[in-house]
């Protein structure tokens, strides 16, 4: 048995746009419905979690998991600039209260990829007052965060910067990720700092952000190339988390770096439904990267998982990832918990096909079906240990 420390948190995560449904005032909804859109499938009703959140939380509790990370939707809270919807705030407060009532610890993300349409129309993170606007939004959500321990300001700022870079023209890359937009990177770092300042007004709240670690692995002699390539795509954002209350690591796969940069996944290697290499050690590597660039900042694994139709393979993946995580913790890195991505088979940014969920969702009836992997993870959580 690999035992985890007392108080180690176990849970799962979702994001508003991917599960709520009907998120009509967000930029993603607009993109899904734009004439000639390249988005293969719209989000529609998603998993209807806007209404079924209690059921979702109850599933976590029944499984034996103790933490639920979910996001609040800026586009619902501030659908027009300066108009803060009390009804939307009340909704999310009810979610926080329901989690508590059921005995779950809620972890809140303030921004998970989607923006209000008005904010995007003004230039999004490139607009002059983006940082002020995000600070004001953070002030608006303060009633939601009182009595919360973990608040994430921005989910995967590195991917936000990369997506902004891609929409600037470089949308297709043979391997790896497009170059992040440096203006957006700077704005995100500033927005994170301002948001943390605002959050610090609430006693007990510990704030941070969550970074998608890419596990850039240099071929021999390519260490410098890997650094040049990797720093703006992940470690810069971990470096910016130095001094934060905690930092989230979100890891899925690795990228091999040759003399000319990222290599495509080689033929014959096992890949997942997102086309990524099946590579569970990415988690341990991501946590080591965080410990290196944000030394001393406690790590929380806020996402890790696999898109697969073979649920037994999900168990294999998570087991291997957790084994690696245990090793890094034995090396001395403080890790507070592990959240599997994702609770539900949800809207994977353009398609429902890549199924990351511990729980299946019927696309017509919204009926939830708990998968064996969810029960397996629940058993690990109850034992606070990984069986041999
Ligand atoms: C994101 C999630 C996404 C997951 C799998 C992360 O990049 O935070 O929203 O669904 O990875 O792609």
Q: Residue 263: which of 236, 225, 305, 317 has the closest Cα?
A: 225
**Of residues 20, 32, 78, 156, which has the active-site annotation?**
156
Q: What pLDDT does 175 receive?
A: 85
Report residues whose beta carbon is within 6 angstroms of any ligand 1 atom. Answer: 15, 18, 155-156, 159, 212, 250, 303, 341, 348, 356
Vertex 66, ends 273 and 386: CA angle to 5°? 65
Ligand 1 centre distance from Cα of residue 122 (Å):
25
Question: How far is Cα 91 from Cα 94, in angstroms, rounded to an integer?
Answer: 5
Query: Would you call 335 helix, strand, or coil by DSSP?
Result: strand
Predicted TM-score of the model (pTM): 0.98
pLDDT of residue 347: 98
Residue to substitute in 341, 345, 349, 356 for testing ligand 1 pocket (most ligand atoms within 8 angstroms of CB) = 341
- The answer to whether 71 touches 65, Cβ cutoff 8 Å, is no
Do 251 and 270 form a contact (C-beta atoms < 8 A)?
no
Q: For residue 170, what pLDDT is reported?
A: 46
| In contact, 120 and 80? CB cutoff 8 Å | no
> Using CA atoms, how far apart are residues 283 and 214, in angstroms rounded to an integer?
10
Ligand 1 centre distance from Cα of residue 220 (Å): 30
Which residue in 52, 68, 72 sits closest to 60, CA to CA?
A: 68
Tell me which residue has its CA closest to atom 10 in ligand 1.
348
Cα gap 61→258, rounded to integer Å:
45
Cα–Cα distance measured from residue 144 to residue 148, given in angstroms and rounded to the nearest whole number: 8
Q: How far is the CA of 1 from the centre of ligand 1 (A)?
A: 30
Taking CA atoms only, the protein residue closest to ligand 1 atom 1 is 156
Q: Are 40 and 31 in contact (CB under 8 A)?
A: no
The token pair at 294 is 């944000």
Look at ligand 1, atom 3, and give the residue with the nearest C-alpha: 348
To the query of whether residue 156 is one of the catalytic residues in this protein, the response is yes
Q: For residue 62, how far is the Cα from the chain centroid?
A: 23
By most ligand atoms within 8 Å of CB, the mutation choice from 251, 283, 349 for ligand 1 is 349
Per-domain residue ranges of the chain: 2-383
Q: Is 341 helix (H, G, I), strand (E, B) or coil?
A: strand
CA 81/CA 4 separation, integer angstroms: 45
Q: Could you give phi then psi for residue 37, rounded to 5 degrees?
A: -60, 150
Contact yes or no for 262/256 (Cβ under 8 A): yes
Closest Cα to atom 12, ligand 1: which residue? 348
Beta strands in 30-166 (DSSP E): 67-71, 105-111, 150-155
Phi, psi (5° rounding) for residue 206? Answer: -110, 125
Ligand 1 center–CA 181 separation, angstroms = 19
pLDDT tens readout for residues 309-345? 999 999 999 999 999 999 999 999 999 999 999 999 9
Q: How high is the mean pLDDT in each 10-residue block of the chain (388 residues)?
A: 98 99 98 96 98 99 98 98 98 98 98 98 98 98 96 98 78 80 98 98 98 98 98 98 98 98 97 98 98 98 98 98 98 98 98 98 98 98 95
- CA-nearest residue for atom 9, ligand 1, is 15
- Choose among 71, 90, 68: nearest CA to 26: 71
Tens digit of each residue's pLDDT (9 = 90 or more) over 159-182: 999 999 986 544 456 689 999 999
Q: Which residue has the tokens 């919204």?
A: 366
Each residue of 147-166: b (16+ CB within 10 Å) or e?
Answer: ebbbbbbbbbbbbbbbbbbb
User: Going by CA atoms, what residue is nearest to atom 5 of ligand 1?
Assistant: 348
Tell which one of 14, 111, 303, 304 to mutate to probe ligand 1, the residue whose CB is within 8 A of the most ligand atoms: 303
> What pLDDT does 172 receive?
56
| Superfamily of structural domain 2-383 | Glycosidases (3.20.20.80)
Give the C-alpha separation, 54 to 10, whole Å.
18
Ligand 1 atom at minimal distance to the Cα of residue 342: 10
Q: What is the pLDDT of residue 388?
A: 81
């Amino acid at each position: 048995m690999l035992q985890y420390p007392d108080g180690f948190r176990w849970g799962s995560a979702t994001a508003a746009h991917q599960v709520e449904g009907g998120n009509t005032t967000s930029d993603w909804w607009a993109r899904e419905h734009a004439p000639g859109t390249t988005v293969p499938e719209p989000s529609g009703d998603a998993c209807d979690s806007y209404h079924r959140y209690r059921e979702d939380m109850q599933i976590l509790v029944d499984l034996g998991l103790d933490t639920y990370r979910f996001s609040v939707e800026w586009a619902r809270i501030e659908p027009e600039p300066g108009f803060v919807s009390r009804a939307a705030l009340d909704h999310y407060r009810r979610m926080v209260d329901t989690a508590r009532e059921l005995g779950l610890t809620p972890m809140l993300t303030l921004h998970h990829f989607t923006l209000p349409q008005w904010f995007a129309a003004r230039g999004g993170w490139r607009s002059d007052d983006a940082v002020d606007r995000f600070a004001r939004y953070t002030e608006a959500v303060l009633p939601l965060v009182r009595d919360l321990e973990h608040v994430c300001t921005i989910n995967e700022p590195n991917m936000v910067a990369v997506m902004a870079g891609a929409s600037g023209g470089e949308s297709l890359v043979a391997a790896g990720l497009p170059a992040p937009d440096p203006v957006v990177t700077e704005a995100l770092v500033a927005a994170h700092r301002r948001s943390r300042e605002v959050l610090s007004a609430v006693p007990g709240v510990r704030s941070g952000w969550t970074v998608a670690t890419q596990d850039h692995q240099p071929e021999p002699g390519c260490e410098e190339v890997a650094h040049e390539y990797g720093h703006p795509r992940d470690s810069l954002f971990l470096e910016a988390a130095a001094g934060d209350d905690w930092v989230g690591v979100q890891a899925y796969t690795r990228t091999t770096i040759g003399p000319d940069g990222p290599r495509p996944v080689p033929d014959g290697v096992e890949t997942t439904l997102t086309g990524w290499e099946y590579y569970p050690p990415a988690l341990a590597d991501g946590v080591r990267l965080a410990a290196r660039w944000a030394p001393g900042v406690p790590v929380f694994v806020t996402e890790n998982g696999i898109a697969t139709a073979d649920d037994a393979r999900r168990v294999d993946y998570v087991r291997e990832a957790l084994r690696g995580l245990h090793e890094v913790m034995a090396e001395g890195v403080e890790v507070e918990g592990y959240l599997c991505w994702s609770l539900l088979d949800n809207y994977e940014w353009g398609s429902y096909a890549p199924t990351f969920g511990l729980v299946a969702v019927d696309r017509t009836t919204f009926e939830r079906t708990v998968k064996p992997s969810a029960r397996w993870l629940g058993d690990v959580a109850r034992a606070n240990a990984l069986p041999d």
